Amino acid sequence: MTNQVSEKQLLLQIQPLIENHEAEAVRLLLEAYRPEDIADIFWDIELDEAKFIIKVVGQKEAVEIIRSLDEELQERFFKGYTSKEIADDVVSYLDSDDSVDILNLLPTRKAEEVLSYLDDQDYAKNLAAMLHYDDDVAGGLMAKELVQVKHNWTVSQCIEEIRLQAEEVDSVHAVYVVDDKNILNGVVSLKDIVLSKAHTSVIEITNTEFIAVNAYATGEEVARLMNKYDLITIPVIDSMNRLIGRITIDDVVDFIKEEADKDFQLQAGLSDSVVSEDKVLILSKARLPWLMVGLIGGLGSSMLVSNFETDISHLPQMAFFMPVVAAMGGNAGVQSSAIIVQGLANNTLKSKNIMPKLAKEFTVSLINGLACSALLLMFNLIIGHNYDLSIVVSIALITVIIFASLLGTITPLILEKFKIDPALATGPFVTTINDIIGLTVYFSLGRILLGA
Amino acid sequence: MTNQVSEKQLLLQIQPLIENHEAEAVRLLLEAYRPEDIADIFWDIELDEAKFIIKVVGQKEAVEIIRSLDEELQERFFKGYTSKEIADDVVSYLDSDDSVDILNLLPTRKAEEVLSYLDDQDYAKNLAAMLHYDDDVAGGLMAKELVQVKHNWTVSQCIEEIRLQAEEVDSVHAVYVVDDKNILNGVVSLKDIVLSKAHTSVIEITNTEFIAVNAYATGEEVARLMNKYDLITIPVIDSMNRLIGRITIDDVVDFIKEEADKDFQLQAGLSDSVVSEDKVLILSKARLPWLMVGLIGGLGSSMLVSNFETDISHLPQMAFFMPVVAAMGGNAGVQSSAIIVQGLANNTLKSKNIMPKLAKEFTVSLINGLACSALLLMFNLIIGHNYDLSIVVSIALITVIIFASLLGTITPLILEKFKIDPALATGPFVTTINDIIGLTVYFSLGRILLGA
């Protein structure tokens, strides 16, 4: 049994060896490690060192290491290789789904070159066909490698086919049954093949109540189906119901994680997927756009507040409560939009009717607004603030919480309708709008009720 | 092939039938649906209707429906059943991992009663042992149902064992090889069993370089290993390396989604996992605590600002820029903490050394702060604001962005050190602190530079 290894220790051992070009020592050292673990140290080494490792570990290991690299590292890594090297040493050894992932990282021109260098031109044609799909639909997530059998075969013929495909298809979880026109008829589990007699007709053990996805189904839909029905693999079909590939759950797990990360990032106001190891300028670029949105919103607020200059100079205490009114609007809005965004993402939102949701949100925000306002009023009276001002602040607070909650509920639903990622609604954009609305309500109430 | 069905349509058809107690018609109607799809309508029906459906669909289907229900629905549902009914009609038909999930939902007393009612007391003992594990460690995620074979068996003995276990173990992906002391020696894939001769010794096709987890490994660790090494199942062992269960990827997918949701919720200031279908009071309760935190922070801000009353009455324009300074601190802080939080959650943070991260964050925030401040200064000068005030606002803005970014970087790392969920750092808590710090910097600078 092998478990995780210390990355640091490996780095310390391997870097001096690479520096001295001790190929054999590096090879021996790495023999004890899994490709996935070796891939981990690629974050911390130079391109030259990486190329050295790939050269010495042997073909099969090298391909596995490259496959396990993070996308960003792959992209960086392949800049050091020619199209012919990528074709001969990497793509020709990979499963189609992994190859397509890599080709998608390359500039179009280079990807085409790689395809032209492939010896197996059938494989190249397959890959070219798969490149037509976006990488977030079923066709972009699927692999072409699968075991398919004819509906009139026996179990022993199936086993023979598995044997023939064994080298190409790493992990077999199911065998797909097709007719003469390649139309998918059903799925047979490996367990049923193991438990059946050799001469059994395959159709007897075929499950025809299977679930398949169209090549253009979204990644979200694939994830939802596999999750709901606890599937390990799902077949991919074209519009004629012909079998064209299969997706395994591990690719979908990656997809689910990426989607969750994207929502989290949008909510935090990051415009790109960044990690703290990225270069300063990349980090800065991912963050500056949303800061600018916030800034422009802030300037809007400042121009708004400037309309109330005389009110403030008349009663400077009004300024004291600007932060609390603005912040509470932001907080309440983010809460209500997060509930909707998550409901949309997880498909737990049973209906997209806006009116009943708004009615409910009104009640919830009224309760919370009343609770917060009462507390604020108590505090202000104890502290000994101006009575009228305290009343204004509390009324403004309720109004702002209700308003921001309704806006937070409605915005993601509207964005979804226009096919814009609803997670945008929990980010700085809506917080900023809520700031402006909150302050407008506050100062307007102040002017009316305090006659300032 | 069956794909998704219209939930609404099913609801419309079934509710009148249930009302008229037409058991046979309900049974016939539901025959065309998968248990997972039937489970979906349980969100929209009453407990009585649900019980009626469960009664008429037949034992096997009923158990599958209950298994597919969302946790919240299960909890609600079982309130209508006695301990004996739960034992006889549900738990005795479920796999151990699903049974444990259900027992965990029940009050301890009721869970114990259910166990005492089980006919199979070995199974009850197994379940009791599994209940000792938290539901977020490997022992709580695993199932006891697996196919295990002895290291000195042949392939045909293995197939016999699979046949014996076939009814209990739904999906077989791997066979676990143990020695006489039940110590896990390795894993055999079903594919290798299919491709091997009957008299082959199992040890010849055993993979001894497998990955296993200890029963007390965290769910995060299990998810990380399965994701990294693309595993469909992972064996669970005790401290003596004895095989005690296995975890399948679908349970881990659920876990990954729950974890991502939790981070998203914390970031949005929701203290509980809520969906928009929840009752008003539940929604209100999940949101009020963070609103209160925001409120208390806001009161802090207001008390802080009140110290600068004379400055404001002297130069009311200072109030104009309070929102932008406060908001930008919040935005910058959330961005930097989100990067760290995500790095911690995804294990992509290569080192937890704080100093180099702070140095980098300083550079990033300096660049972004300068860009924002320059823009703000330009705007203020064009608009014709007081020159000195414009300079103060811009200096305050840089300072606040840098300060908030550093705080956003450091807070999640510190929380992680104290074993508190670092996602807390992207929520209202830190935004509020940044508000206060931002305003302090702003007004202090104003006092010093404007001598207000």
The residue-averaged pLDDT of B445-451 equals 84
Residue A2 confidence (pLDDT): 45
How many beta-carbon pairs under 8 angstroms link A with B? 379
Q: Please check the confidence at residue A4 and state whether its pLDDT lies above 60.
A: no
The residue-averaged pLDDT of A20-49 equals 88
Residue B230 confidence (pLDDT): 86
Q: Which of A210-224, A262-276, A330-344, B81-95 shows the lowest per-residue confidence on average (mean pLDDT)?
A: A262-276
Query: CB-based contact (8 Å) between B67 and chain A?
Result: no
Identify the residue among A242, A295, A360, A385 best suited for mutation to test binding to B, counting B beta carbons within 10 A and taking the highest: A295
Query: CB-based contact (8 Å) between A279 and chain B?
Result: no
Most confident stretch, A340-349, A364-373, B300-309, B337-346: A364-373
A277:B191 CB<8 A: no
Q: Please check the confidence at residue B128 and state whether its pLDDT lies above 80.
A: yes
CA distance A285 to A24: 43
Residue A242 confidence (pLDDT): 93
B150: confidence class by pLDDT, cuts 50, 70, 90? very high
Residue B201 confidence (pLDDT): 94
Residue B105 confidence (pLDDT): 85
CA distance B148 to B236: 13
Q: Please check the confidence at residue B160 and state whether its pLDDT lies above 80.
A: yes
A288: confidence class by pLDDT, cuts 50, 70, 90? confident
Q: List helix spans (H) across A315-427.
A: 322-346, 354-383, 387-417
The residue-averaged pLDDT of A174-202 equals 92
Of A290, A323, A357, the CB nearest to B276: A357
The residue-averaged pLDDT of A13-24 equals 90
Query: CB-based contact (8 Å) between A352 and chain B?
Result: no
Q: Which two tokens stand for residue B133?
A: 């594990």
Residue B293 confidence (pLDDT): 85
- Which chain A residues are closer than 8 Å to B353 by Cβ? none
Query: CB-based contact (8 Å) between A306 and chain B?
Result: yes
The residue-averaged pLDDT of B119-137 equals 87
Residue A5 confidence (pLDDT): 55
Higher-confidence residue: A344 or A444?
A444
Alpha-carbon gap: B164 to the closest alpha carbon of chain A (Å): 10
Contact between B439 and B304 (Cβ < 8 Å): yes
Q: Please check the confidence at residue A205 and state whether its pLDDT lies above 80.
A: yes
CA distance B181 to B174: 20
- Which chain A residues are closer than 8 Å to B162 by Cβ? 191, 194-195
How many CA atoms lie within 13 Å of B180's alpha carbon, on the beta-carbon side? 1
In angstroms, what CA-CA distances link B201 with B135, B153, B187, B189, B210?
A: 38, 6, 14, 14, 19
The residue-averaged pLDDT of B109-115 equals 89
End-to-end CA distance of chain B: 77
- A344 burial (CB, 10 Å; 0-12 / 13-18 / 19+) is buried
Phi and psi dihedrals of B428, rounded to 5? -60, -25
Contact between A263 and A422 (Cβ < 8 Å): no
Sheet of B243-248, strand order? B213-214, B233-237, B243-248
CA distance A435 to A185: 58
Q: What percent of chain A has pLDDT over 90?
A: 23
Of B228, B287, B294, the CB nearest to A36: B228
Query: What residues contact B444, with CB distance under 8 A and at least 6 apart?
Result: none
CA distance B374 to B391: 10
Contact between B338 and A273 (Cβ < 8 Å): no
Alpha-carbon gap: A107 to the closest alpha carbon of chain B (Å): 26
In angstroms, what CA-CA distances link B172 with A189, B185, B207?
A: 9, 18, 16
In angstroms, what CA-CA distances link A140 with A111, A258, B53, B378, B405?
A: 16, 15, 40, 47, 38
A323: confidence class by pLDDT, cuts 50, 70, 90? confident
Residue A178 one-letter amino acid? V
Per-residue DSSP letters for B408-438?
HHHHHHHHHHTT--GGGGGSHHHHHHHHHHH
Contact between B44 and A350 (Cβ < 8 Å): yes
The mean predicted confidence, pLDDT, of chain B is: 86
- Which chain A residues are closer than 8 Å to B200 by Cβ? none
A319:B330 CB<8 A: no
Domains, chain B, in order of start with CATH, read 7-141 (1.25.60.10), 148-249 (3.10.580.10), 280-450 (1.10.357.20)
CA distance A347 to A287: 29
Taking CA B135 as the corner, what is the angle to CA B129 and CA B136, rounded to the nearest 5 degrees? Answer: 130
pLDDT tens, A86-130?
998 888 888 888 888 888 888 888 888 999 999 888 889 888 888
The residue-averaged pLDDT of B391-406 equals 92
Please tell me which residue of chain A has the smallest CA distance to B221: A4
Please tell me which residue of chain A has the smallest CA distance to B427: A331
Q: Percentage helix, strand, coil, to 5, in chain B? A: 70, 10, 25
pTM attached to this predicted model: 0.73
A371:B288 CB<8 A: yes
The residue-averaged pLDDT of A159-164 equals 88
pLDDT tens, B224-258?
899 888 898 999 999 889 999 999 998 888 888 77
Residue B80 one-letter amino acid? G
The residue-averaged pLDDT of A405-412 equals 89
pLDDT tens, B162-203?
888 877 777 788 899 999 999 999 999 988 898 898 899 999
Q: Please check the confidence at residue A191 and state whether its pLDDT lies above 80.
A: yes
Q: Please check the confidence at residue A3 and state whether its pLDDT lies above 70.
A: no
Please tell me which residue of chain A has the smallest CA distance to B268: A335
The residue-averaged pLDDT of A302-327 equals 87
Q: Which of A402-406, B378-382, B433-437 shows the lowest per-residue confidence on average (mean pLDDT)?
A: B433-437
Residue B414 one-letter amino acid? I
Residue A279 confidence (pLDDT): 81
Q: Which two tokens stand for residue B332?
A: 């910058």
User: Could you say which DSSP state residue A148 is in?
Assistant: E
B249:A232 CB<8 A: yes
User: Could you say which DSSP state residue A143 is in?
Assistant: B
Residue B149 confidence (pLDDT): 93
Of B227, B261, B331, the CB nearest to A294: B331
Alpha-carbon gap: A110 to the closest alpha carbon of chain B (Å): 29
Of B274, B323, B332, the CB nearest to A435: B323
pLDDT tens, A56-71?
888 888 888 988 888 8
The residue-averaged pLDDT of A266-295 equals 80
Higher-confidence residue: A292 or B430?
A292
> Of A343, A347, A383, A386, nearest to A361 (Cα)?
A343
Identify the residue among B290, B324, B426, B431 best suited for mutation to test binding to A, counting A beta carbons within 10 A and taking the highest: B324
Q: Residue B32: which H helix or E strand, with range?
A: none
B3: confidence class by pLDDT, cuts 50, 70, 90? very low
Burial letters B169-198, b for 16+ CB under 10 A, else e: bebbbbbbbbeeeeebbbbbbbbbbbbbee
B194:A159 CB<8 A: yes
Contact between A249 and B173 (Cβ < 8 Å): no
The mean predicted confidence, pLDDT, of chain A is: 86
Q: Which position has the token pair 């669909």?
A: B57
Query: CB-based contact (8 Å) between B131 and chain A?
Result: no
Query: CB-based contact (8 Å) between A51 and chain B?
Result: no
Per-residue DSSP letters for A279-306?
-HHHHHHHHHHHHHHHHHHHHHHHHHHH
Q: Please check the confidence at residue A350 and state whether its pLDDT lies above 70.
A: no
CA distance B272 to B35: 28
Q: Which two tokens stand for residue B384?
A: 């014709």
User: B30 pairs with which residues across the strands?
Assistant: none
Please tell me which residue of chain A has the smallest CA distance to B6: A350
State the helix-helix crossing angle for A121-130 and A108-117, rounded to 10 degrees: 150
Alpha-carbon gap: A239 to the closest alpha carbon of chain B (Å): 14
Phi and psi dihedrals of A115, rounded to 5? -60, -40
Q: What percent of chain B has pLDDT over 70?
A: 97
Residue B1 one-letter amino acid? M
B254:A334 CB<8 A: no
B287:A332 CB<8 A: yes
Q: Residues 73 to 102 of B: which have CB under 8 A from any A CB?
A: none
Q: Please check the confidence at residue A450 and state whether its pLDDT lies above 90.
A: no
The residue-averaged pLDDT of A308-329 equals 87
Q: Please check the confidence at residue B213 and state whether its pLDDT lies above 90.
A: yes
Per-residue DSSP letters for B184-220?
EEEEEEHHHHHHS-TTSBGGGG-B-S---EETTSBHH
Query: Can you say how many angstroms the Cα of residue B425 is from the centroid of all Cα atoms in its chain?
Result: 17
